[in-house]
Amino acid sequence: MTLYELQPKKSENISDFFDYIYESLKNKFNNEELASQMAVEFGKLRETAINYKLCGSALLDNLKCYHDQLVLLGGKIRFSPENCNVSFKWFCSYSPRGSDKEVYELCNIDWEFANVLFNIAILTYLKGKKESQKKQREEAKKCFQEAAGIILFLKDHQLKKINRRTNDLNDHALELIFNSFVGYVQLEVAKKSMRRKSKRQAGSKFIRRREKTVQYFQYHAKCKTTVSLLRLTVQILRSDEQLSYGLARRG
């Protein structure tokens, strides 16, 4: 793991949420036993989705399952703030250096979706790092591509549904994270290409430069304040033989 490794966000159990689900399902199906069973199962599912003692792959599977169940429930009950007056609490995944991690609460199911998607992306990226260490280039590249796609969706679509921005959930932080993941995709392609062409010496230098650049992006995404992030943007530069990152500061 790099020094400034990205980590999933943390949350807490929300009893009010399960109570609302129970009441909504009871009114819909007119069956208390069925509603209770479904609400309990959903509560257990969310509990496993925020159980950070689990290994990465198990937690990732639980998060994806929880996300899918949220989508399915959205077709059965009303999750609008006017109906579902439940506060979803999530801790920021990182904070400016020297400060404690901030906690944000919002009565909006889209806030819950946004944080779940963020965690799925981060855990998928971490899975890619493990695959890369095992030299599983294609699998690693696939993970990094998936993680980048989720972050892009989060930035361009999901975040627009929420009237809230945090240190980790804002356009500029997500752009840095997205470009970091894209950098890892290109890194895996470079490793495979350099090995295939037996350009060991040239390839190792390129790979070291790319790894340092990716770490630099993640450092800024984690340790810079939101004000500082406003000055940062990422440009992907192309040359005939290799790809490199460039960091441009806004004036």
Question: Which one-letter amino acid corresponds to residue 152?
Answer: L
pLDDT attached to residue 204: 62
pLDDT value of residue 55: 74
Tell me, yes or no, whether 151 lies in a domain: yes
| Residue 16: inside a domain | no
Following CA atoms 3, 125, 56, 212 in sequence, which dihedral angle do they give, to the nearest 10 degrees? -20
Cβ atoms of residues 245 and 217 within 8 Å: yes
A 10 A CB-CB count for 163 gives 9
Residue 240 counted as domain residue: yes
Structure tokens at 9: 């966000």
Rounded CA-CA distance 47/153 in Å is 25
Q: For residues 87 and 244, what is the distance between their CA atoms, to the nearest angstrom?
A: 43
Rounded Cα gap, residues 140 and 120, in angstroms: 15
Pairing of strands 88-91, 103-106: antiparallel
Q: Residue 93 gets which letter from DSSP?
A: S
Structure tokens at 101: 């991690």
146 lies in a domain?
yes
| 148 in Cβ contact with 178 (< 8 Å) | yes
The phi, psi pair for 104, rounded to 5°, reads -125, 135
171 within domain boundaries: yes
Single-letter code of the amino acid located at 64: K
The count of domains in the chain is 1
Residue 58 in any domain: the answer is no
Is residue 224 assigned to a domain?
yes
Residue 7 lies in a domain: no
Which among 137, 24, 130 is positioned nearest to 86, based on CA atoms? 24
Sign of CA dihedral 63, 65, 66, 67: positive
The parent domain of residue 200 ranges over 80-249
Residue segments in the chain with a per-residue pLDDT below the cut of 70: 1-5, 95-100, 195-251
